Structure 1
Amino acid sequence: MMLLLVPFWSRELLRRQLFSKKVTLSSRSTSQTMSIHLLFNTTSSVTNNVTDIAVSTGAGRIIGALILCLFLPIGISGNLLIIWSILTRTRHRSITTLLILNLACADGSLMFLLPFFIVYLVKHSWIFTLPLCKILLYLCSTNMYASIFLITLMSLHRMVVVVWRKHAGVLRDRRALIRVLVGLWILALCVSVPNSVFWTTFMSEHEPKFVACACKHSQPRDVILQHCLEILLGFLMPYGLIIGSYVCVLRRIRKTRFRRHIRSEKLILVIVIAFGLTWLPFHIMNMVEVAGAFLPEDSPEKARLSQIWISFRGFTSTFTFISSSINPVLYTFAGKSYIKREGLAFMARLFESSGIESTRKIRQSQNNQEQEKKEEVDHLKDGI
């Protein structure tokens, strides 16, 4: 979240830091540690000149804190409304509804961590303990993985319902779903462990009173390892499954006479697109950093990549933060037809109607399958 400060860096101050003090590419690459990288497991090695720029401008820190304060109530109230609606107002909890519940828990938990980073911005230093620094960053990483895993599971669920009709009945097994969800959260906790090795607190070289809480890498291979893990497990593999699922769904819809998209499919598709748009720029910056780690320290290509990273990292990280607050807004637009009639319970009606439509589709698939078997048996009898 602290990466929100990057867009507000003073260009003149940055130019002085980079050239008058002769900051090398390695220092620029490692300077990513700054307080700004807190929430996104982004990496760096030893703190250096650019690290200090991250939170050095008072205007940047104030604007960054204001932006975080703006999204804080939206994220907390929106995700709490989703949780409340599902737990207390939804009578028929479908699989999609339970997945949305877990997604709201993941996003909502991130919002509750945000005040620590607002204090970090305002105080211009990490005033909390090292264990708390590691725990908060670990939880932020877990949130990222849990969110993308849940969205992937939603897409796979839609594919099974639409494409693999023979197995659609298995999806109503709540015990199996609970086991899958428990395994998903355990996986998210496990894949966040390697990143926690690099998280620490350290004093700034140029500002003795400034304590950073971020990643600290000693070798370029550590940067490559962490970012490649994030890109592969946090984006490429999940989104490959998501895209493959929806390609199969679209092909199936074209072959069937029932071409009407049900509400839950549209809702999940919007969630998938929103998550991709908010996280893709962040992972592109990860790729830029990995590419720079392979280049010699004095190469002009590395200098250009480093400048790209400095220029765009703040904006891309802002998008990732928005992803934790945007889902309640999407649900509000999707359920606007229920707002006047249901009031605060409109989300419950939205999720309930989606669940009913999903159940109908499963039953319709089973009925179609039974009808096909019956016709096949009748055809064999006629042949005999």
Structure 2
Amino acid sequence: MAGDNISAENCTLMFNITTIPWGGIPPCDYEEVKVANTGILVTLYSLVFVLGLLGNGLVVCVLVKHWKQSNLTDICLFNLAVSDLVFVITLPFYSHFLVKGYWTFGNFMCHVLSGLHRTGFFSSIFFMVIMTLDRYIVIVHGHKVAQYRTMRLTIALTIITWILSLCVSLPSFILAESEDECLFLPENEHWHHYDLFATNVLGLILPLLVMVVSYSRIIPVLVKMKTAKRHRIVKLILSIVAVFFLFWAPYNISFFLNYLHLQNIIILTCNGDRNLRLAVSVTEAFAYTHCCLNPIIYAFVGQKFMRRTLQMLKKWLPISVGDLSDSSSRRSSVVSRSSGFMVTTM
């Protein structure tokens, strides 16, 4: 929209404390929401930044050290960790903005950080989808497609995924503007519809659908396997889906409700509006913590990866991790080596 009806949402936090909704309704007093947001979000952003940086940084270090033995799974793990790192490195800038109350990094950095934030978010989701599909193919159709899981295909999928993530995030690179705040300022309402579609469909519905369908086919195959650990694997699979849904669904629901409110499809009182804005902010920050869990869910659970990690920590830290490393190396694989993804992640 043009003129006074332009919506000025924060370019990455997806909430705004001071602007007038699209319908032109005079704003309520959001000072209490702003104060609550600042304390909660700065704490959560700081926690996510530290834990995400350490966990994903360790994944990158381990995989780089053993890059000569890398397969499709390892490269997907590497790119997933890089995606989460791209995402978390933007958080200190937004923490600084929340504390100061205004944007101090200039218009160029607003464009760059907005785009990187969205790129990290979508690339992380897309690589999780690829890893889920790869897991499905290897376990359900392992012998038929084993010859197609080549390094060339892996590199091609990696490049395509990053290009797709950049394309989906392009509006954030272009339409972000810096005044007192770093704002997402599209020229018309269609970009807001696109943002809603990208966040809810590409960010939640599509990956969740892929996980549910793929794992619903994988679990019966695992149950039939003659391994004492099959029940642990099934529980881990269910945990992957449940954690993804529980962390991201609350934000997507509150974001969608906020969109309906801004479109005047649902009408809220000032108190209801304040609560909704606070819900969007808090659930989004809570969803961000999922990137701290990715290293645990997709990397550190795997015996091969854990063994490599312990070997690296044994060299870095003055503590004794040799016994843990030897114990890890003696464990039997959950699935045969033809199921490469399961060996790594389960």
Q: State the TM-score, normalized to the length of structure 2.
A: 0.75
1:168 aligns with 2:140: no
Match of 2:344 in 1: none
Amino acid in structure 1 at the alignment position of 2:139: V
- Deviation (angstroms), 1:154: 0.9
1: CA distance, partners of 2:336 / 2:183: 44
1:289 and 1:305 in contact (8 A); partners too: no
Q: CA deviation at 1:241?
A: 1.5
Matched, 1:274 2:243: yes
Q: Using the alignment, how far apart are the partners of 2:53 and 2:67 within structure 1?
A: 20
State which drifts further: 273-282 or 316-325. 273-282
Long gaps (5+) in structure 2? 21-26, 315-320, 341-346
User: 2:338 matched to 1:360?
Assistant: yes
Residue 231 of structure 1 aligns with which residue?
A: 200
Q: 1:73 corresponds to which residue?
A: 50
Matched position secondary structure for 1:200: strand
1:47 equivalenced with 2:47 (yes/no): no
Q: How does 1:239-254 map to 2 (within 5 A)?
A: 239-254=208-223
Are the structure 2 counterparts of residues 179 and 79 from structure 1 closer, same or farther at C-alpha, using a change threshold of 3 Å?
same
Q: 1:93 aligns with which of 34, 57, 70?
A: 70
- In structure 2, the residue matched to 1:14 is none
Aligned pairs for 1:105-120 (under 5 A) are: 105-120=82-97
Aligned match of 1:286 in 238, 246, 255? 255
Q: Does 1:215 align with 2:192?
A: no
Structure 1 residues 292 and 217: CA distance shift in structure 2, 3 A: farther
Aligned partners of 1:68 and 1:118 also within 8 Å: yes
Aligned pair partner of 1:129 in 106, 115, 118: 106
**Per-residue CA shift, 1:165-209, capped at 9, x if unaligned?**
34331354111111011101111111111344542223xxxxxxx
The structure-2 alpha-carbon separation of the partners of 1:187 and 1:54, relative to structure 1 and needing over 3 Å to count, comes to: farther
Paired amino acid for 2:176: W
Q: Are residues 1:309 and 2:276 paired?
A: yes
CA change 1:302–1:138 in 2 (3 A) is farther
Contact 2:45 2:95 in 1 (8 A): yes
Indicate if the aligned counterparts of 1:39 and 1:141 stay in contact, CA closer than 8 A.
Answer: yes
> Structure 2 CA distance, aligned partners of 1:192 and 1:355?
39
Work out the percentage of aligned pairs sharing the same amino acid. Answer: 22
Change in Cα spacing, 1:300 to 1:276, as seen in structure 2 (3 Å) is: closer
Alpha carbons of 1:195 and 1:355: their partners in 2 closer, same or farther (altered >3 Å)? Answer: farther
* 1:132 counterpart letter in structure 2: M
Give the SS at the match of 1:360.
coil
Match of 2:287 among 320, 323, 326: 320
For 1:373, the equivalent position in structure 2 comes to: none
2:343 paired residue number = none
Counterpart-to-counterpart distance in 2, 1:321 and 1:261: 30
What amino acid sits opposite 1:241 in the alignment? V
Counterpart in 1 of 2:317? none
Pairwise CA distance, 1:238: 2.1
Alpha-carbon distance in 2 for matches of 1:236, 1:293:
22
CA contact (8 A) 2:87 2:120 kept: yes
How far residue 237 of structure 1 moved from its aligned partner, in angstroms, is 1.7
**Is the 1:44–1:216 Cα contact (8 Å) retained in structure 2?**
no
SS at match of 1:125: coil
Q: CA offset at residue 151 of structure 1?
A: 0.7
Once the two structures are TM-superposed, the CA of residue 229 in structure 1 deviates from its matched residue by 2.6
- Contact between 2:45 and 2:285, CA under 8 Å: does it hold in 1? no
- Is the 2:62–2:309 contact (alpha carbons within 8 Å) kept by the matching residues of 1? no
CA RMSD of aligned residues (A): 4.1
Return the letter of the residue paired with 1:213: C
Q: Distance in 2 between matches of 1:248 and 1:219?
A: 43
Q: Deviations over 1:41-94 (max 9, x none)?
A: x3779934469638853x753554344333322221221111111111577433
**What is the CA distance between 1:126 and its match in structure 2?**
0.1
Structure with the greater alpha carbon radius of gyration: 1
Greater helix share, structure number:
1
Instruction: Provide the C-alpha distance between the structure 2 equivalents of 1:87 and 1:337, rounded to a whole number of angstroms.
Output: 15
* Structure 1 pair 263–38 and aligned structure 2 pair: CA distance change class (3 A): farther
